């Protein structure tokens, strides 16, 4: 059984006992425990079920590479599925439940998959479930979906918050082991701005566990001193619990800091996402131990050897009373020695190598440990827990020589440098024969924006596998990195670690090497996804020869650990099956993030109402107070209507229309784009921008203008006012202000840069109110301050002045067909001015109206709306706006595009009005049907509706739309389709339904 | 070639699956073929398959620089739908969707087409009108879609937040027979079927040049030597510009990066595909339980398969607002693809200035769903030398005439 | 095969700020010659649609939108994202020093035309 040892544990505080629960069971641990350590201390080796076969799964590792020990952590708004117990710091009250089983962890019905696993090899689903056709969606897939997945789906909104922060540094050091700390010391002493990230809560990495001695001191002491020295350096920042997730181009690094995972609900953000811009990145990310592929290597109790050592040394937890060590390298002996020194039994060290030698082997011999050289494990026995191992010759086919009773197996298949961050941005790898691993190829690093190396690797991450080599490498790499940054490293003695002479490792990819297919179908490569040696061999046999094919076909390395344990082993098996060398087969892709990152952290503070920037007009508060129903317009929110108690939106809109047409309406038009264009060449410039002529507009007057893109399609419209000789004010659509301003600048800066024109987007500098209706003038006259009479301020004129004491600019323009003034006041006066209009307008029947009433009224007048009548494929000529296009100008933006034959054709759909024969409203989006069908069997069309409303003024449905040769077909009856089938008949009419002569707006 | 079936699996299980044959052969190239397709992605393989199946042209090689299906076919979010606005788009995507319905049976390879339904949320009034327009267009095009209410949206996808503070859901365009497929399987299934017809799928073979005589293509220079052909089809997505240059013409396409990501797997919580175009994000749940997430493209030329990170952040903000329960899930992996965008964001299936050389490209972000239909139309074009009705509008000269096939007009719809 | 993300860093030649991509708006090909009325259909099509799309050295437009607001031009490799330099938009062709730098870094480069 696994248990807590009486003594030791360098990371735990035995004085701080914590209580937690697993599957409802109340258990005890200590501060400093990981959840995995605490579970093992409570003899909870079985922690989950595998993805495909629902096999029992135990803790394998002690770090982020853990594939098995994932739990649902917390509940409700704090439920976090797939949480790795090996990196979850224990806290008081922690609740965890195991995953992927029903009804319980111990008795899982899904394990039936395991009994028929023979029928479910890699890719079986591609070969079956083909007939009958409907069964995939309705029978097979639902079963597969239910059986797949791991953690519980959360049901509640996240109770925590996240924040994001920026950091900048010369050198980013990733990894706080001895190599990373030494590199930081070198860079810090040189005066570089250094940021050091460590994913764990503690510093030092493996060295203190492995008993290394540095400069004559225990590694732990050296680490403490190094950390203290770094903390004393002004240019160095240390950040623990912070995982570098991805390296992106131009030195951008994303790191996830677990701020309050170990203290949930304490008010701090759960995570902080760091966006780091580094001059250079040094990855001292260490290495990950590989499992060995022998039959039954997935049974709970089989663990990575170094992880077993971690549990013993760091947390005083013994994974088993009797642990068999199986290895192909000397490092496995460290575990055997650590176990023995902790007073635990090591019945045997099974070493695949024929003649192991080296300092550690000698120490193990001296301790009297039994070494089975040249041997391998034929099979692990046990169900939910290891009971024994059968020993065989590594060189043979698996004939059992001996069986050794044990309750744990510590395996070591060698070490793989963590090259993820090196690879994210294009760094290439080379195969290291000595350690049988891929390591960074210094000749082909990922490149920075200047074409130089962006990343350097150091220590074990660079293939320097022993403490002494790692420190030397870290020193050299950091010095080179500092020099490349243009700084001078200080002369300092590199720390020396006591060398431990290790014998060569021997690559072992299958144990025993001649294993039968029966054994190979019990050798797990990917524990979580249930991919075995036999599956990879099957993929190779079937022609899925590229690593990417094999990976995708078998799902090897696609589990939540992203192949940290399985990729190299799988690759080696594939290479063997293809009879090729490993480097020829290549590596799989290293995709960010290094370990999974919470989505909430990636979204940061941008949640709820501010998940996008929110733009408010100065009158927004009034609208909210007065019950406006808003609609989003770009990032703005505009009142759609102002419903009164008991009113539907439709009723409110009708009321607003009728009131505006018969009395007085106010519209908050502040969102309308306002761009000042000024300079000696401003007129010439506007003549290029607009289809019409703006240079001839007299000062004091307004003119409606259209803008097209270079293709000739309508892009924006609005009223332009000539302010003075050199100044024009261009109104744009609400959504268009920023786009049009950028468009103007584009032309001015990149094409006509010798023209003297300046632009300024003053949209938010002014609040603007449309005062509309027969009583509009009465209201303004009551406020007083300037002459707004027909004579002083005729239609399409503007004037500066004051109204009711407010400084304002009044435009006599109308988008409703009524007597209308659009009044701009400085934004800071907007709210007060709006309220003053309401107060003074009460006697004239004033009401606010929203965007929908605006739409209805402009449709009644046959005014087009960008985005309704236009959709990016419509040219002004389609809309009967030829009058707004200058025939005289040699050039304007869009003119050449409109000359292309498809646009210049007479066969285009053109704007007309429609009136249904029965007075009903044509459905939004309806098409006008034509006879017959096209070559693809689709019903022919000859037009479509673009705006369709019930007109409360005319008390019937009105519509505008585009019809093939429309203006030539006045009086024709056409049919609009409906989605239910059937059609609506309508007569082609003039699009101006209301006040055709414009008498109302000109009064 | 052995047929795949549950019986075959049972038979093979008895001998530990040691009897399975290669899914496709890996031959050395012959000296000459009737037709060469450059690009063994989904579109190229489908083109070859329908050349053989519909037109009896089987002396065909499909040449691939890397591994088959290793480009965008294996890098997308696997959405299949045909609720397009313009007639020519709706025609080819609906053809494609209907071919997907029976593709597993046609290929004897389970491509896991799952018509779980695709929902496109309308979150502004403008978007409502846009989707109503699409619904009306679809009704005449024979594409089954409907515009549904927010309540129905919630019923179909209970984890969806329809009352968000910024963009409450006002309705949705719903295509019940849209869905997802298994992307790799589509490439693999076509490759196996092509191989079975005697075609050569030649991987790890890079085209270095296009050879022509008298304005007609005669073959391609490759890393495995010159290979002659009577007809050449270029179907290489993001790398179309390079191939066109070799063939001596310039294409109206630009290569940009598109990104996607998946979360860690969780138990089923979402049975349909949801696209939220106003806020730029879409999401579905794979059969493995991963939430599959996609967003927008970059605005600059890029061949690195690495898109801009801020798009990932924007997409996730949008989706966490839309699906609040995903906030505590974790991003498992994230990747990019190079997509080729044309001037109107619609594809090109066209003859080219070079005789007997044909091009199929410009699928942008919408390629996966189009694979069978695109292959079908391209095969017809290559076999007959002239486009059939499906490809007729997608020629590369439409830009000159201003004859756009613009899908973005509906409501800024991402493909 | 690599696959991750980028986050370009470009120096604005006007304000000297090393601006992150989120501060910038991309604008595709630089040094375009506009074809307006009087041009042939072919010229107009080439100007509008047949934009350069090289896998390698590319000249492109960027706007320092959330900074000084200026458009500037950048020489960048689309295959590696290496930036050879940025320069003001008010020039007809790339500056000589940037051309030299590109030639040094990419001996096979065929030139900007």
Window A:440-459, CB contacts with C under 8 Å: 446-447, 449-451
Would you say how long chain A is, in residues? 1003
- B225 phi and psi, to 5 degrees? 95, 180
In this prediction, residue A303 has a pLDDT band, given cuts at 50, 70 and 90, of very high
Give CA–CA dist B369/B79, Å, rounded.
6
Q: Give the span between the Cα atoms of A4 and A846, in whole angstroms.
A: 80
Q: Token pair for residue A369?
A: 């440990």
| Terminal Cα-to-Cα distance of chain B (whole angstroms) | 37
What is the per-residue pLDDT across B196-221, written as a single tens digit (0 to 9) for each? 999 999 999 999 999 999 999 999 99
Tokens of B46: 């489908």
Give a yes or no: residue B75 inside a domain. yes
How would you list the strands of the sheet with A664-668, edge to edge?
A: A798-803, A806-811, A820-826, A766-772, A664-668, A846-848
Q: Do B299 and C26 touch (CB under 8 A)?
A: yes
pLDDT band (50, 70, 90) for residue A118:
confident
Q: Are B35 and B75 contained in the same domain?
A: yes
pLDDT, tens digit (0-9, with 9 covering 90-100), for A402-433: 999 999 999 999 999 999 999 999 999 999 99
Number of domains in chain B: 2
**A418 against C1, higher pLDDT:** A418
3-state secondary structure A6-34: CCCCCCCEEEEEEEEEECCEEEEEEECCE
Which residues in chain B have their CB less than 8 angstroms from residue C6's CB?
257, 302, 304, 306-309
Contact present, A77 and A158 (Cβ < 8 Å): yes
- The tokens for B371 are 């694979």
Give the pLDDT confidence of B133-165 residue by residue, as tens digits: 999 999 999 999 999 999 999 999 999 999 988
CATH number at residue B383: 3.50.50.60
Q: Which chains touch C (3 or more CB pairs under 8 A)?
A: A, B
**Residue A114 near residue A57 (C-beta atoms within 8 A):** no
Contact C8 A450 (CB under 8 A): no
**Tell me, what CATH number does C67's domain have?**
3.30.2270.10
Cβ neighbours of A753 in C, within 8 Å: 89-90
Look at residue A148 in the predicted model and tell me its pLDDT: 82
Chain C residues within 8 Å of chain B (Cβ atoms): 1-8, 21-22, 25-28, 41-42, 44-46, 48-51, 53-55, 58, 60, 78-81
Chain C positions touching A247 (Cβ under 8 A) are: 4
Of A918, A994, A933, residue with least CA distance to A960: A994
Asked if residue B332 and residue B268 are part of one domain, the reply reads yes
Q: Which of B71, B194, B200, B265 to mutate to test the interface with A (most CBs of A within 10 A)?
A: B265
Q: Is residue B169 part of a domain?
A: yes
ipTM of the complex: 0.96
Cβ-Cβ contacts under 8 Å, B201 against chain A:
none
Report yes or no: C2 and B305 within 8 Å, Cβ to Cβ.
Answer: yes
- Give which of B240, B88, B181, B140 is closest to B372, Cα–Cα: B181
CA torsion A297-A298-A301-A306 (nearest 10°) is 70
Residues facing residue A277 across a β-bridge: A168, A252
For chain C, say whether A604 makes contact (Cβ under 8 Å). Answer: no
| Tokens 């009797």 -> residue | A322
For the CA atoms of A623, A628, A631, A637, what is the dihedral angle to 10 degrees?
10
- The answer to the question of residue C61 being in a domain is yes
Domain annotation for chain A: domains and CATH numbers:
3-115 (3.10.20.440), 162-287+417-484 (3.50.50.60), 291-413 (3.50.50.60), 514-603 (1.10.10.1100), 616-904 (3.30.1360.120), 906-1003 (2.40.30.110)
B399 contacts chain A (CB < 8 A): no
- Asked whether residue B259 falls in the same domain as residue B392, the answer is no
| Residue of chain B whose Cα is closest to the Cα of A124 | B9
Provide CB contacts within 8 A for B149, sequence distance 6+: B171
* B174 and B270 co-located in one domain: yes
Residue bearing the bigger pLDDT, A376 or B297:
A376
Residue B193 shares a structural domain with residue B244? yes
pLDDT at C100 over 60: yes
H or E element, residue A404: strand A402-405
Contact residues, chain B, for A254 at CB < 8 Å: 309
Q: How far apart are CA C46 and CA B343, in angstroms?
A: 11
Has residue C54 been placed in a domain?
A: yes
Facing residue for B304 by CB, picked from C6, C21, C53: C6
Instruction: Name the pLDDT band for C1 (thresholds 50, 70, 90).
Output: very low
- E-strand ranges in A354-407 read 371-373, 375-382, 386-393, 402-405
Helix intervals (H) in A349-419: 359-366
Nearest to A816 by CA among A853, A777, A775, A765: A853
**B243 plus B207 within the same structural domain:** yes
Q: What mean pLDDT is predicted for residues C38-52?
A: 93
Which of the four pLDDT bands, split at 50, 70 and 90, describes residue C50?
Answer: confident
**Minimum distance, in Å, between the CA of residue B343 and any CA atom of chain C:** 6
For B144, phi then psi, to 5°, come to -85, 105
Listed residue (A25, A32, A60) closest to A45, CA to CA: A60
Section A297-320 average pLDDT = 98
> What distance in Å separates the CA atoms of residue A311 and residue B233, rounded to the nearest whole number?
60
Determine phi and psi for B156, rounding to 5 degrees.
Answer: -75, -25
Confidence category of residue A111, pLDDT binned at 50, 70, 90 = confident
Residue at B321 is within a domain: yes
pLDDT score of A1: 86
- Number of inter-chain CB pairs under 8 A, B vs C: 88
* pLDDT tens readout for residues A484-529: 999 999 988 889 999 999 999 999 999 999 999 999 999 999 999 9
- Report how far residue A937's alpha carbon sits from residue B191's, in angstroms, rounded to the nearest whole number: 31
CATH number for the domain spanning B294: value is 3.30.9.10
* pLDDT at res. C4: 58
B103 & B200 share domain: yes
Task: Judge contact between B237 and B347, C-beta under 8 A.
Answer: no
Chain A, chain B: beta-carbon pairs less than 8 Å apart: 324
Residue B19 lies in a domain: no
Q: Give B312's contacts in chain C (Cβ within 8 Å).
A: 5
> What's the CA angle centered on A514, arms A512 and A519, to 5 degrees?
70
CB A597 within 8 A of CB A430: no
Cis omega before residue A593 (within 30°)?
yes
The whole-angstrom separation of Cα B131 and Cα B121 is 9
Q: Given CB atoms, is A426 within the 8 Å cutoff of chain C?
A: yes
Cα–chain center distance at A724: 50
Q: Which of residues 694-713 of A touch B (CB under 8 A)?
A: 711-712
Pair (B127, B100) in one structural domain: no
Residues in chain B, total = 415
Chain B residues inside the 8 Å CB shell of C49: 252, 342-343, 399
B376/B279 same-domain check: no
User: Which of A867, A869, A877 is CA-nearest to residue A897?
Assistant: A877
C9: which chain A residues are within 8 Å (Cβ-Cβ)?
250-252, 277, 449
- CA distance, residue C4 to nearest chain B CA (Å): 5
Q: Mind telling me how many Å the CA of A539 is from chain C's nearest CA?
A: 21
Q: Do B133 and B278 share a domain, yes or no?
A: yes
Residue C82 lies in a domain: yes
Q: Which of B20, B278, B392 lies nearest to residue A538, judging by beta carbons?
A: B20
- Looking at the fold, whether B157 and B188 belong to one and the same domain comes out as no
* Interatomic CA distance for residues A137 and B117, integer angstroms: 11
Within-domain flag for C98: yes
Distance from CA of C75 to the nearest CA of B (A): 12
**8 A C-beta contact, residue A720 and residue A706:** no
Tokens of B157: 């996808």
Instruction: Tell me the average pLDDT across A109-130.
Output: 87
**What residue numbers bound the domain in which C90 lies?**
26-33+40-105
In angstroms, the CA B24 to CA B67 distance is 12
What pLDDT does B234 receive? Answer: 98
Look at chain C and report how many structural domains it folds into.
1
CB atoms within 10 A of CB A365: 14
Kindly report whether the peptide bond that precedes residue A484 is cis, defined as omega within 30 degrees of 0: no
Q: Tell me, what DSSP letter sits at residue C48?
A: H
Are the CB atoms for B94 and B376 separated by under 8 Å?
A: no
Containing structural domain, residue B130: 118-178+255-342
**For testing contact with chain A, the best of C4, C68, C83, C92 (most A CBs within 10 A):** C4
Answer whether A749 sits within 8 Å of C89, measured CB to CB.
Answer: yes
- Compute how many other C-beta atoms are within 10 angstroms of the C-beta atom of residue A955: 9
CB C7 to CB B400 under 8 A? no
Look-up of token digits 């993030």: A593
**Domain end marker among B293, B327, B342:** B342
C-alpha dihedral (A601, A605, A607, A612), degrees to nearest 10? -120
Say if residue B298 is exposed, middle or buried (CB neighbours under 10 Å; 0-12, 13-18, 19+). Answer: buried
| pLDDT, tens only, A786-821 | 999 999 999 999 999 999 999 999 999 999 999 999
- pLDDT surpassing 60 at residue A750: yes
- Say what the pLDDT of residue A132 is: 87
Mutation pick from C1, C5, C42, C77 vs chain B, by most beta carbons of B within 10 Å, is C5
Q: How far away is chain B from the Cα of A246, in angstroms, using its nearest Cα? A: 10
Judgement on whether residues B192 and B45 belong to the same structural domain of the protein: yes
Per the prediction, chain A carries an average pLDDT of 96
Q: What count of CB pairs under 8 Å joins A to C?
A: 97
Per-residue pLDDT of chain B (415 residues), as tens digits, is 789 998 899 899 988 899 999 999 989 999 999 999 999 999 999 999 999 999 999 999 999 999 999 999 998 999 999 999 999 999 999 999 999 999 999 999 999 999 999 999 999 999 999 999 999 999 999 999 999 999 999 999 999 999 988 999 999 999 999 999 999 999 999 999 999 999 999 999 999 999 999 999 999 999 999 999 999 999 999 899 999 999 999 999 998 888 899 999 999 999 999 999 988 899 999 999 999 999 878 888 888 878 788 889 999 999 999 999 999 999 999 988 888 999 899 999 999 999 999 999 999 988 999 999 999 999 999 999 999 999 999 999 999 999 999 887 654 433 3
Is A745 in contact with C3 (Cβ distance < 8 A)? no
Closest chain A residue by Cα to residue C106: A451
Q: Is residue B297 part of a domain?
A: yes
């Amino acid at each position: 059984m696994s248990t807590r040892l009486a003594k030791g544990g360098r990371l735990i505080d035995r004085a701080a006992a914590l209580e937690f629960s697993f599957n409802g069971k109340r258990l005890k641990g200590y501060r400093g425990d990981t959840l995995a350590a605490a579970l093992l201390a409570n003899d909870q080796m079985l922690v989950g079920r595998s993805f495909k076969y629902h096999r029992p799964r135990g803790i394998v590792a002690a770090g982020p590479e853990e594939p098995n020990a994932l739990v649902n952590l917390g509940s409700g708004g704090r439920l976090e599925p797939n949480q790795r117990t090996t990196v979850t710091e224990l806290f008081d009250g922690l609740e965890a439940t195991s995953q992927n089983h029903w009804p319980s962890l111990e008795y899982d019905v899904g394990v039936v998959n395991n009994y028929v696993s023979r029928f479910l090899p890699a890719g079986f689903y591609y070969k079956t479930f083909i007939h009958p056709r409907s069964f995939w969606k309705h029978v097979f897939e639902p079963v597969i979906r239910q059986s797949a997945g791991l953690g519980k789906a959360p049901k509640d909104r996240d109770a925590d918050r996240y924040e994001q922060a920026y950091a900048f540094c010369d050198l980013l050091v990733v990894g706080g082991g001895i190599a990373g700390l030494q590199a930081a010391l070198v860079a810090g002493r040189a005066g570089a701005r250094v940021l050091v990230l460590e994913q764990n809560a503690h510093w030092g990495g493996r060295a203190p566990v492995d008993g290394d001695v540095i400069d004559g001191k225990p590694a732990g002491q050296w680490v403490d001193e190094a950390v203290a020295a770094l903390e004393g350096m002004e240019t160095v920042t240390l950040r623990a619990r912070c995982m570098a997730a991805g390296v992106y181009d131009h030195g951008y690094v994303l790191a996830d800091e677990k701020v309050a995972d170990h203290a949930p609900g304490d008010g701090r953000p759960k995570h902080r996402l760091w966006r780091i811009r580094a001059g250079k990145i040094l990855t001292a990310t260490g290495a990950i131990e590989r499992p060995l592929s022998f039959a039954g290597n997935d049974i709970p109790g089989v663990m990575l050897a170094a992880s077993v050592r971690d549990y013993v040394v760091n947390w005083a937890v013994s994974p088993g009373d009797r642990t068999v060590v199986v290895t192909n390298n000397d490092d496995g002996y460290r575990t055997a020695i650590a176990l023995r020194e902790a007073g635990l039994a090591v019945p045997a060290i099974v070493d695949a190598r024929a003649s192991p030698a080296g300092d550690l082997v000698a120490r193990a011999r001296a301790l009297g440990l039994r070494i089975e050289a040249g041997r391998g494990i034929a099979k692990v026995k046990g169900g939910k827990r290891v009971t024994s191992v059968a020993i065989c010759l590594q060189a043979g086919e698996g004939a059992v020589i001996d069986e050794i009773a044990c309750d744990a197996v510590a395996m070591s298949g060698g070490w793989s440098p963590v090259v993820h961050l090196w690879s994210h941005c294009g760094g290439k790898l080379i195969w290291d024969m000595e350690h049988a691993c891929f390591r960074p190829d210094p000749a082909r690093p990922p490149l920075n924006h200047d074409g130089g190396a962006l990343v350097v690797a150091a220590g074990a991450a660079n293939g320097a596998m022993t403490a002494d080599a790692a420190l030397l490498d870290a020193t050299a790499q950091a010095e080179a990195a500092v020099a490349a940054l243009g700084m001078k490293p200080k002369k300092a003695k590199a720390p020396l670690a006591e060398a431990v002479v290790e014998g060569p490792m021997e690559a072992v990819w299958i144990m025993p090497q001649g294993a039968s297919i029966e054994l190979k179908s019990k050798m797990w490569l990917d524990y979580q996804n249930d991919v075995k040696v036999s599956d990879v061999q099957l993929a190779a046999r079937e022609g899925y020869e590229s690593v990417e094919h094999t990976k995708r076909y078998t799902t090897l390395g696609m589990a939540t650990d992203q192949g940290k344990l399985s990729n190299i082993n799988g690759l080696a098996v594939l290479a063997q099956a293809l009879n090729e060398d490993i480097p020829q087969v290549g590596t799989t892709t290293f995709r960010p993030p290094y370990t999974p990152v919470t989505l909430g952290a990636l979204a940061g503070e941008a949640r709820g109402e501010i998940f996008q920037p929110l733009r408010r007009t100065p009158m927004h508060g009034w609208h909210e107070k007065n019950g406006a129903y808003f609609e989003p317009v770009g990032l703005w929110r505009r009142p759609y209507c102002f419903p009164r108690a008991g009113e539907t939106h439709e009723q409110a809109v009708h009321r607003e229309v009728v009131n505006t047409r018969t009395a007085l309406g106010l519209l908050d038009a502040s969102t309308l784009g306002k761009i000042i264009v000024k300079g000696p060449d401003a007129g010439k410039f506007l003549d290029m921008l607009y289809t019409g002529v703006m240079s001839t507009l007299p000062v004091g007057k307004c003119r409606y203008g259209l803008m097209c893109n270079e293709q000739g399609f309508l892009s924006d419209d609005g009223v332009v006012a000539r302010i003075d000789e050199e100044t024009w004010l261009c109104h744009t659509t609400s959504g268009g202000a920023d786009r049009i301003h950028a468009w103007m600048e584009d032309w001015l800066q990149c094409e006509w840069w010798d023209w003297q024109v300046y632009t300024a987007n003053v949209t938010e500098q002014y609040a603007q109110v449309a005062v509309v209706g027969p009583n509009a003038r009465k209201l303004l006259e009551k406020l007083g301050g300037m002459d707004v009479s027909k004579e002083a301020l005729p239609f399409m004129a503007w004037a500066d002045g004051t109204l009711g004491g407010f400084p304002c600019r009044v435009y006599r323009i109308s988008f409703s067909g009524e007597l209308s003034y659009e009044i701009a006041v400085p934004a800071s006066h907007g709210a007060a001015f709006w309220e003053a209009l309401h107060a003074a307008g009460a006697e004239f029947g004033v009401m606010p109206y929203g965007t929908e009433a605006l739409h209805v009224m402009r449709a009644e007048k046959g005014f087009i709306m960008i985005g309704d009548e236009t959709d990016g494929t419509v040219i002004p000529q389609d809309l009967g706006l030829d009058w707004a296009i200058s025939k005289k100008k040699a050039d304007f933006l869009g003119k050449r595009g409109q000359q292309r034959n498809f646009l210049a054709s007479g066969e285009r759909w053109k704007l007309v009005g429609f009136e249904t024969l029965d007075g009903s409203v044509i459905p939004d989006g309806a098409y006008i049907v034509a006879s017959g069908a096209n070559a693809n069997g689709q019903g022919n069309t000859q037009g479509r509706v673009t705006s369709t409303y019930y007109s409360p003024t005319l008390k019937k449905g009105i519509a505008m739309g585009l019809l093939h040769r429309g203006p030539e077909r006045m009086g024709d009856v056409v049919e609009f389709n409906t989605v239910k089938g059937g059609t609506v008949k309508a007569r082609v009419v003039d699009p101006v339904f209301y006040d055709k002569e414009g008498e109302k707006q000109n009064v | 070639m052995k047929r795949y079936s549950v019986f075959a699996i049972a038979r093979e299980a008895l001998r530990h699956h040691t009897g399975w044959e290669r899914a496709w052969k890996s031959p050395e190239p012959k000296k000459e073929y009737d037709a060469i397709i450059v690009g063994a992605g989904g579109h190229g393989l489908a083109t070859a398959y329908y050349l053989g199946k519909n037109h009896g042209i089987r002396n065909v090689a499909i040449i691939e620089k890397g591994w088959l299906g290793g480009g965008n076919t294996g890098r997308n979010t696997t959405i299949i739908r045909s609720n397009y606005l313009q007639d020519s788009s709706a025609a080819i995507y609906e053809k494609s969707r209907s071919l997907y319905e029976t593709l597993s049976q046609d290929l004897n390879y389970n491509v896991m087409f799952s018509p779980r339904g695709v929902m496109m949320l309308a979150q502004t009034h403008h978007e409502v009108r846009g989707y109503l327009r699409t619904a009306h267009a679809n009704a005449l095009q024979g594409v089954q879609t409907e515009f549904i209410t927010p309540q129905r949206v919630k019923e179909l996808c209970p984890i969806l937040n329809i009352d968000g503070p910024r963009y409450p859901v006002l309705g949705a365009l719903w295509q019940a027979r849209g869905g997802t497929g298994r992307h790799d399987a589509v490439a693999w299934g076509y490759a196996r079927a092509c191989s079975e017809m005697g075609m050569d799928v030649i991987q790890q073979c890079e085209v270095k040049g296009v050879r022509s005589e008298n304005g007609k293509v005669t073959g391609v220079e490759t890393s495995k030597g010159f290979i002659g052909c009577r007809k050449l089809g270029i179907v290489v997505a993001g790398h179309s510009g390079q191939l066109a240059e070799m063939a001596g013409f310039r294409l109206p396409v630009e290569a940009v990066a598109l990104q996607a990501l998946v979360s860690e797997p969780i138990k089923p919580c979402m049975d349909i595909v949801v696209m939220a175009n106003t806020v730029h994000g879409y999401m579905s749940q794979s059969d493995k339980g991963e939430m599959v997430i996609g967003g927008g493209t970059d605005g600059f030329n890029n061949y690195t398969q690495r898109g801009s990170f801020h798009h990932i952040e924007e997409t996730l903000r949008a989706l966490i607002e839309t699906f609040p329960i995903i906030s505590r899930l974790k991003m498992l992996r994230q990747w990019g693809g190079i997509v080729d965008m044309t001037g109107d964001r619609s594809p090109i299936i066209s003859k080219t200035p070079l005789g007997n050389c044909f091009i199929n490209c410009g699928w942008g972000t919408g390629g996966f769903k189009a694979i069978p239909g695109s292959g079908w139309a391209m095969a017809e074009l290559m076999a007959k030398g002239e486009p059939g009705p499906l490809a007729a509008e997608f020629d590369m000269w439409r830009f000159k005439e201003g004859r756009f096939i613009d899908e973005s007009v509906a409501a800024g719809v991402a493909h | 095969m690599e696959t991750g993300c980028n986050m370009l860093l470009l120096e604005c030649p006007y304000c000297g700020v090393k601006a992150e991509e989120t501060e910038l708006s991309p604008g595709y090909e630089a040094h375009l010659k506009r074809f307006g009325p009087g041009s042939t259909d072919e010229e107009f099509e080439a100007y509008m649609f047949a934009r350069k799309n090289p896998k390698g050295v590319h000249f492109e437009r960027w706007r320092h939108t959330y900074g000084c607001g200026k458009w500037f031009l950048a020489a960048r490799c689309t295959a590696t994202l290496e930036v050879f330099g940025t320069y003001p938009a008010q020039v007809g062709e790339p500056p000589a020093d940037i051309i030299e730098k590109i030639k040094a870094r990419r001996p096979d480069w065929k030139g900007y035309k």
